[in-house]
Amino acid sequence: MPAQHPSQMVELDAHLGELSPDLFSSIFVASVQALETYGIEWAIELVHQLAIAPALGREPVAPEALLSRLGFVSAFDPALRWLLRRLASAGHLVCEERGGARLYSQPQPLRPAAIAEFRDLALAIDPRNAASLDLLDAAGESYPKVARGELSGQQALLGPHRIALWTRYFHNDNPIYAINNIIAATAVANRLPAAQGRILEIGAGGGSGSEALLDTLGQRGRLSAIASYRITEPSPFFRRRAQRGLTAAHPQLPLEFAELDIDKPWAEQGVEPESADLIFGVNVVHVAQDLAFSLGEALRTLVPGGWLIVEECVRPRPGEAISTEMIFQLLDSFTAVKIDPKTRPNPGFLTVAEWRKALRTAGFDRVEVVPDLEAITESFPLFFAGALCARKPR
Ligand SMILES: C[S@@+](CC[C@H](N)C(=O)[O-])C[C@H]1O[C@@H](n2cnc3c(N)ncnc32)[C@H](O)[C@@H]1O
């Protein structure tokens, strides 16, 4: 979110609904803006480093033509498209649509990037922004190697040498990420049955979303509303980490830890139909290989009237680039998914309207958005986090 005039902050408060305005302090708002700008600086830097800038002139050119002209490997295509979109939405390049294709030109020479200055600025706003800056740096430093085919995105970003970077990023001490967990926890706590609630969490990673939920329920005196809480995650490393931390913090709670791949039939993995009152996932459902399939599996697993809560980074406008995507454009798991022009027009993050359509098409009868992102986005285009709460028909 950009720095806002106090009267605009009042306007924002009116759309926060279930969320406390205290979550959106001026430090937090400035951090969001600084990190978004940092991604743009990296895009400028990479366009210079990869010699994309000299290949772009006043004549509009298609990304695929640039890819072959510069000799980049085809796996770099999503990352190149992200660079061009990111710079076009920041006003550094011109993008025009011709026959459904996007073409790019560069009317003015691009200025040098100022990465070090913007890194210092983001750290001065909040030193805890280091977790996000370090991950963006790791991605930026990997782009040239992936473009030249020296490394795959997976090798560059998901090897054992990167684990500490990811665990620091998906952590409640990283304010830019923690907001996702707080929004999810609030939306879940407000929709959990008063008693005997059976919760299923998908893609729980190292458990930062689970931790936020248990904290929220604890603060509300509602931990006894949990009949069972199955915390699932396919990666054994992250699952064990979640299990260690959460069972130590809550030895009295009925927590279960299991593997669940949302791309495969859930019943075959021990998750029975109509066995959950509430399912939630923080920043996981957008990686579903086949979104319609995974939403269908969630619907089957819920009892009638049960809620699926999908907390996600939400794209403000169709096709608009977001700075955190710079990291994920290098990963096949993010980019190589099944596309559907109606319900999933692009890999990765979707707009609220696209989520609504996907959830309705999957058979959910009511969709609520926490906070009211459709009202917020017009005035606050950098408000990216939200929970899509979808109810199974009663
Ligand atoms: C962005 S992380 C979020 C982790 C966790 N929700 C948190 O907020 O700390 C996405 C998680 O989804 C998991 N994931 C990836 N593909 C998955 C799949 N097919 N089924 C279930 N989880 C998956 C990853 O292992 C990772 O832990």
Asked if the model's pLDDT at residue 30 lies above 50, the reply is yes
CA dihedral 334, 336, 340, 341 (to 10 degrees): 90
Segment of 15-29, 145-159, 311-325 carrying the highest mean pLDDT: 145-159
Asked if the model's pLDDT at residue 93 lies above 80, the reply is yes
Asked if the model's pLDDT at residue 29 lies above 60, the reply is yes
> Quick one: what percent of the chain has pLDDT higher than 90?
87
Q: Which pLDDT value is given to residue 369? A: 96
Q: Which pLDDT value is given to residue 1? A: 47
Which has the minimum average pLDDT: 132-136, 189-193, 260-264, 340-344? 340-344
Q: How far is the CA of 192 from the centre of ligand 1 (A)?
A: 22
Q: Residues 334-355: what's their mean pLDDT?
A: 93
Asked if the model's pLDDT at residue 162 lies above 50, the reply is yes
Residue 233 Cβ < 6 Å to ligand 1: yes
Q: Which pLDDT value is given to residue 193? A: 96
Asked if the model's pLDDT at residue 7 lies above 60, the reply is no
Q: Which pLDDT value is given to residue 142? A: 98
Domain residues of the chain, as ranges? 6-169, 175-391
Residue 291 Cβ < 6 Å to ligand 1: no
Q: Residues 317-330: what's their mean pLDDT?
A: 92
Alpha-carbon distance of 377 to 59, in angstroms, equals 33
pLDDT-derived band of residue 54, with 50, 70 and 90 as boundaries? confident
Mean pLDDT taken over the chain: 94
Alpha-carbon distance of 201 to 195, in angstroms, equals 18
Element (H or E) spanning 105, and its range?
Answer: strand 101-105
Q: Which pLDDT value is given to residue 374? A: 87
Are 121 and 74 a contacting pair, CB within 8 Å?
A: no
Q: Which pLDDT value is given to residue 40? A: 97
Alpha-carbon distance of 247 to 5, in angstroms, equals 44
Q: Residues 142-164: what's their mean pLDDT?
A: 96
Residue 203 Cβ < 6 Å to ligand 1: yes
Asked if the model's pLDDT at residue 140 lies above 90, the reply is yes
Asked if the model's pLDDT at residue 387 lies above 90, the reply is yes
Closest C-alpha among 112, 74, 122, 76 to residue 92 = 112
Q: Residues 136-155: what's their mean pLDDT?
A: 98
In this prediction the pTM is 0.94
Residue 334 Cβ < 6 Å to ligand 1: no
pLDDT-derived band of residue 77, with 50, 70 and 90 as boundaries? very high
pLDDT-derived band of residue 375, with 50, 70 and 90 as boundaries? confident
Taking the CA of residue 287 as reference, the ligand 1 atom at the shortest distance is: 16
Q: Residues 301-324: what's their mean pLDDT?
A: 94
Q: Where are the alpha helices (DSSP H) in the chain?
A: 6-15, 26-49, 52-55, 63-69, 77-89, 115-125, 130-147, 153-158, 163-169, 175-189, 208-219, 236-249, 291-301, 325-328, 332-335, 352-362, 373-377
With tokens 């979707």, the residue in question is 350
- Of 360 and 10, the one with more pLDDT: 360
The residue nearest atom 1 of ligand 1, judged by CA position, is: 283
**Long-range contacts made by residues 80-83, C-beta under 8 angstroms, separation at least 24?**
80/52, 80/147, 81/329, 82/321, 82/325, 82/326, 82/329, 83/43, 83/46, 83/47, 83/52
Q: What count of residues does the chain have?
A: 394
Q: Which pLDDT value is given to residue 383? A: 82
Asked if the model's pLDDT at residue 11 lies above 80, the reply is no
The residue nearest atom 14 of ligand 1, judged by CA position, is: 203
Q: How far is the CA of 204 from the centre of ligand 1 (A)?
A: 6
Residue 309 Cβ < 6 Å to ligand 1: no
Q: Which pLDDT value is given to residue 8? A: 59
Q: How far is the CA of 17 from the centre of ligand 1 (A)?
A: 27
Alpha-carbon distance of 206 to 237, in angstroms, equals 8
Q: pLDDT for 270-288, tens place per residue? A: 999 999 999 999 999 999 9
CATH number of 175-391: 3.40.50.150
Alpha-carbon distance of 195 to 212, in angstroms, equals 20
Asked if the model's pLDDT at residue 51 lies above 60, the reply is yes
DSSP strand pairing (197-201 vs 385-391):
unpaired
Q: How far is the CA of 168 from the centre of ligand 1 (A)?
A: 15
Asked if the model's pLDDT at residue 350 lies above 60, the reply is yes
